[in-house]
Structure 1
Amino acid sequence: MSLPLPFTEDQRDALQEVINVAMGAAGESLAAFAEVFVQLPIPVIRYIEPGDLKSALSAVDEGEKVSVVAQRFSSDANEGFALVAITESSFRDLSEFTGREVTNDTVAAELLTDLSATIATTCLNRLSEMAEVPMTPAESPEVVTLHSPLNEFSFADILGWDAVVSAEINYHLENHPFNCDLVLLFPESGVEDMKMRLDALLA
């Protein structure tokens, strides 16, 4: 269940615009990675409890098992995560695009982390440029789950947070079954800093 956003209407609009541009840049990287046109919906920004994270990935479910990789990043005194989630049928598309046959979980994990490096890193770099805040990947992408039902998914790294600002976008490739969610997660403890930076952008 979504909580009321902790931003003014102007702050929300500014955040929406910044996230939209950053996630659009990630979509362009995905299009180059797959050499296929990517459909780009408008990102959804919500304020949720950590236990409701599955709802942020619901667009990728479609009754299939999902796989998720997480990229931790740091920003000043705060940290966050970029999650990339794909469906089982998306692995078949990725295999076709890259020429890498997914024969076992090791190959699947490598392909998924390469996908994350392509879109999550692009998104964070563009977001960092626009917000004028360094968002540095803290470590290599980590596979959270492979081939699991979404209702069994949990992400222990954020369970200690009081609330989460999530920015969610679902990517589809034209005429392909590929289905991918990119979700940015920011802790409640960083909200005041986000509001100050949004006010600076508005000024």
Structure 2
Amino acid sequence: MAVSIIICDDSRMARNQLARCLPPDWEVDIHFAEDGRHCLEVASQVEPKLVFLDLNMPEMDGYETLEEFNAQNLGYDVIVVSGDIQPDAQARVVGLGAIDFVKKPISKEKMLATLESHGLYSETAAGTKTEAVRETAETDLNDKATFIDACQEIANIAMGRAGDSLARFLDVFVELPVPKVNHIELSELVMALQFAEQDTTVSSVCQGFIGPGLSGEALIIFNDSSFKNIAELMKYQGKIDDHVELELLMDISNILVGACLQGISDQLDISLSQGHPVVLGQHVMIPNLIKRNKQWRKTLSIEINYSIENRGVDCDLLLLFTEDCIETLKQRISYII
């Protein structure tokens, strides 16, 4: 009898990747869900034995989904598969009842070992991949929505690595969002930013990056109201002036930009070289900040807002890829999927 499984992730690319990693001779009935709320709806209809659950999702994230499973006394086996690899994240999901945590991207070997370790799968003579799994093999990256989804999943994994680096450096828990990806005119970027109110003053540094067929800039945009709190976290005891704020900004930038670009490099199997960080502005409005960047008319933007839990610290990592990177990105992503 086929085992009923739900794969819950807001990224179609991630759902497809995970489905393809399931053992080929395992008789399974696969169902997909796009967020926690959708997962609960599907679960009420199919009564799954196993749920693969992402953490960073809209509507209802993985933590909230686990809490709801507990509230309803739903005894599903849950394996969290996430790019948020902070030690605290792993401890929290296990505390909420998940039987395991696996970091993205999961491999076939890791999938097999995880399933076997929990007695969920063993070698069988019968059974083949279901039609639901085979259908996931086709992905058209020329479709804008599919391409944006793929970029978002690449960014999600890179975001998790950078968040983990920051969490370990400051000994905090970093709240991670769903990365926001846009292919837009640069003039539209200010309106697309979800980071802060447009009348909020911010400080920013930018860092260029380049690799085979890829180039762009990484911007760290730091809410000015966060400087006092980040100084306390970094145990700075002196007067906080513009010079100190710039040092703090550079420290955070080096951690987030370096780890995030390395995460992208590893996934795309390329080497991205970083330039020296340059101050883009201190205590300026976001619209004025973006207007200073006039190199390109159109850009692929990836926005990631990092917040430190209960500390009043917010900053945005904005990756801007030049228009001529699109075909290279499609080619590189096609190797993954």
Q: Please confirm whether the aligned pair reaches a TM-score higher than 0.5, indicating the same fold.
A: yes
Matches within 5 A, 1:133-144: 133-137=270-274, 139-144=275-280
Return the match for 1:73 from 206, 209, 216. 209
Q: Which residue of 2 aligns with 1:122?
A: 259
Given that 1:144 and 1:155 are in contact with CA atoms closer than 8 Å, whether structure 2 keeps it comes out as: no
Q: Which residue of 1 aligns with 2:298?
A: 163
Q: Does 1:197 align with 2:302?
A: no
Segment of structure 1 superposing worse, 114-123 or 63-72 = 63-72
Any idea what the Cα deviations from partners look like across 1:80-101, whole Å, max 9, x if unmatched?
Answer: 1111111112111111011224
Matches within 5 A, 1:26-175: 26-61=162-197, 63-100=199-236, 101=238, 103-137=240-274, 139-154=275-290, 156-157=292-293, 159-175=294-310
Any idea what the Cα deviations from partners look like across 1:45-77, whole Å, max 9, x if unmatched?
Answer: 101212233235441347431111111111114
Q: CA deviation at 1:16?
A: 1.7
- Runs of 5+ in structure 1 lacking a partner? none
**What is the CA–CA distance in structure 2 between the aligned matches of 1:102 and 1:52, rounded to whole Å?**
38
**What is the CA–CA distance in structure 1 between the aligned matches of 2:239 and 2:193, rounded to whole Å?**
23
1:59 aligned counterpart, secondary structure? coil
Q: CA deviation at 1:195?
A: 1.1
**What is the CA–CA distance in structure 2 between the aligned matches of 1:69 and 1:61, rounded to whole Å?**
19
Taking only aligned residues, the RMSD between alpha carbons, in angstroms, comes to 2.0
**What is the CA–CA distance in structure 1 between the aligned matches of 2:288 and 2:146, rounded to whole Å?**
37
Any idea what the Cα deviations from partners look like across 1:104-146, whole Å, max 9, x if unmatched?
Answer: 2222111101110011100001110011011110x22111011
1:171 aligned counterpart, secondary structure? strand
2:328 aligned counterpart, secondary structure? helix
Q: TM-score, normalised by structure 1?
A: 0.87
Tell me which amino acid in the other structure corresponds to 1:145.
G
Q: Would the alpha carbon gap of residues 52 and 8 (structure 1) be closer, same or farther in structure 2, given more than 3 Å must change?
A: closer
Deviation above 6 Å: which 4+ runs of structure 1?
none
Q: How many residues align?
A: 196
Q: Would the alpha carbon gap of residues 12 and 48 (structure 1) be closer, same or farther in structure 2, given more than 3 Å must change?
A: closer
Give the structure, 1 or 2, with the largest relative contact order (CA under 8 Å, sep 6 or more): 1
Q: Would the alpha carbon gap of residues 6 and 172 (structure 1) be closer, same or farther in structure 2, given more than 3 Å must change?
A: farther
2:296 aligned counterpart, secondary structure? coil
**What is the CA–CA distance in structure 2 between the aligned matches of 1:142 and 1:79, rounded to whole Å?**
16
Q: TM-score, normalised by structure 2?
A: 0.54
2:195 aligned counterpart, secondary structure? helix
- Runs of 5+ in structure 2 lacking a partner? 1-140
Q: CA deviation at 1:9?
A: 3.9
Q: CA deviation at 1:33?
A: 2.5
Return the match for 2:320 from 160, 182, 185. 185
Given that 1:54 and 1:153 are in contact with CA atoms closer than 8 Å, whether structure 2 keeps it comes out as: no
Q: Would the alpha carbon gap of residues 58 and 145 (structure 1) be closer, same or farther in structure 2, given more than 3 Å must change?
A: farther
**What is the CA–CA distance in structure 1 between the aligned matches of 2:270 and 2:209, rounded to whole Å?**
12
